[in-house]
Amino acid sequence: MKDAAMPPQEPSFRESVDLMFTRAVRFMDLPPGLEEKIRVCNATYTVRFGVRLRGAIHTFTGYRSVHSEHLEPVKGGIRYAMAVDQDEVEALAALMTYKCALVEVPFGGSKGGLRIDPRAWDEHELERITRRFTYELAKRDLIHPAQNVPAPDMGTGEREMAWIADAYRRMNTTDINANACVTGKPLSAGGIHGRVEATGRGLQYALREFFRHPEDVERARLAGGLEGKRIVVQGLGNVGYHAAKFLSEEDGALIVGIVERDGAIWSDEGIRVEEAKQWLMRTGSLRDCPGTKFHEEGAAVLEAECDILLPAALEGVVHRDNAARIRAPLIIEGANGPVTAGADEILRDKGTVVIPDMYANAGGVTVSYFEWVKNLSHIRFGRMQRRAEEAEHLLLVRELERLSEDRGLGWTLSPGFKDQYLRGAGELELVRSGLDDTMRTAYQSMREVWHDKPEVGDLRTAAYLVAIGRVAESYRAKGL
């Protein structure tokens, strides 16, 4: 998107992040030089490596950028896409620093990428490429449980993370914490319940929290709750699919439009997300998806009338050229950087409320943090306390039943209550609880600034203020 579709005067992704950063620090009083120290990317490593495939040596280019090491390990996904370049990984690494600070996850920011079209290679080939890339990064400690911990991003998932973990372990056979070198692994390879859907789940919790505050909803010229809200989603991958699925199946929202690579589908009654996903996986396209109308011009659907726009594919899709035509009064950024700095200004001027990427898609890194802690503690969350909790609850229920019987009160517990109350929290429940709490707390810290400092004007700037303030505090504490 960024080269072909963006107008020439648009800043690059990294420049966009810098512009947003600069807008925010104007409202802060940082010691001289600290602003620059926080803004700049510490280091970016570029590696070119060859892998013998299909009878020839193919050379691949990969990156790992470390934005800030105020806390270690640094954390950030690895992306497989043809558009990957230094500018992109640096922008994404910077966003990771601010994101971790905002949601109080104790990591610095990093990001990696491999310039590759993952669909052009079969599974066996991708495994060899991934293992080689892992070796190149791990030998420079750019994959390391204590220093740099990657995760999935666009074009990568559990499968790639399992290969990375295994390759790292083979290089570090005596490291008892080797599994913590990467997150987003499958459960069977040291992963955690709820990580696959964590970013989509986080988006759902973010919207729920937004709709708990009527004044905020009003600022977006909306009313009521999530039920019945018409949502357009871009990208039916990990983030877009899970967010759309949960919002439609659990909150009663209507997913009226889904924009994918080759066009978009629309249904006024609401698209059945699971069916659309199955169709996309089976046919490779959303064209002819039952019960929906197909539009060749996908980008135009971003501008359609709806309540909420949820871009969850790639950066720069709302830019100076189309920002004025976006009709959704509320945008929640599932992708990283879907709104350019230029578009942000236009949207702010016309009163569109943007729930920024740094907050909205932080569910992934939050649950990654839980996975890392699980790997280091070598025990599943809930394993020690679940049955003890159940026994305690059982004691209370039995006492209530005894009281009712002894005193002839005729009390009966509502159907299902006993089962639900007696069930102790397992790993999935604990992960969801931790994620929900994180999303609520972070929203509140961001909205406090949004409301208390009218000059700040928007949630993104408020998010930067909170995040930069915390990074600055950590530098101050260190005496840097």
- Binding to ligand NAD by residue 238, rule CB under 6 A? yes
Tell which one of 181, 314, 456, 463 touches ligand NAD (CB under 6 A): 314
- How is residue 182 annotated by DSSP? S
Q: How far is the CB of 231 from ligand NAD (least distance, A)?
A: 15
How many C-beta atoms surround the C-beta of residue 50 within 10 A? 11
**3-class DSSP state for residue 202?**
helix
Within 445-474, the residues that bind ligand NAD by CB under 6 A are none
Q: Rule CB under 6 A: say whether 361 interacts with ligand NAD.
A: yes
The reply on whether position 234 binds ligand NAD by CB under 6 A is yes
Q: Does 237 bind ligand NAD (CB under 6 A)?
A: yes
111: annotated active-site residue: yes
Tell me which residue of 368, 316, 313 sits closest to 91, measured CA to CA: 316
Identify the residue among 221, 261, 293, 387 touching ligand NAD (CB under 6 A).
261
Binding residues with ligand NAD: total (CB under 6 A): 25
Minimum distance from CB of 286 to ligand NAD (Å)? 10
Query: Catalytic one among 75, 99, 111, 374?
Result: 111
DSSP structure string for 365-420: HHHHHHHHHHHHHTS-TTTTTHHHHHHHHHHHHHHHHHHHHHTT----PPTTHHHH
CB 255 within 8 A of CB 233: yes
Nearer to ligand NAD, 62 or 364 (CB): 364
Of the two residues 25 and 203, which places its CB atom closer to ligand NAD in the complex? 203
Q: Is 451 exposed, middle or buried (0-12, 13-18, 19+ CB in 10 A)?
A: middle
Candidates 145, 334, 356, 382: give the one binding ligand NAD (CB under 6 A): 334
C-beta of 458: minimal distance to ligand NAD in Å? 20
Q: Which of 209, 157, 212, 206 is nearest to 186 (CA)?
A: 157
Site string for ligand NAD, 1-30 (x = CB under 6 A): x-----------------------------
Site string for ligand NAD, 190-209 (x = CB under 6 A): ---------x----------
- Contact partners, residue 384, CB within 8 Å, separation at least 6: none
Q: Which burial class, exposed, middle or buried, applies to 97 when counting CB atoms under 10 A from its CB (0-12, 13-18, 19+)?
A: buried
Query: β-pairing, 148-152 with 230-234?
Result: unpaired
Annotated catalytic sites, by residue?
Answer: 111
- The residue ranges that bind ligand NAD (CB under 6 A) are 1, 152-155, 199, 234-240, 259-261, 298, 312-314, 334-336, 361, 364
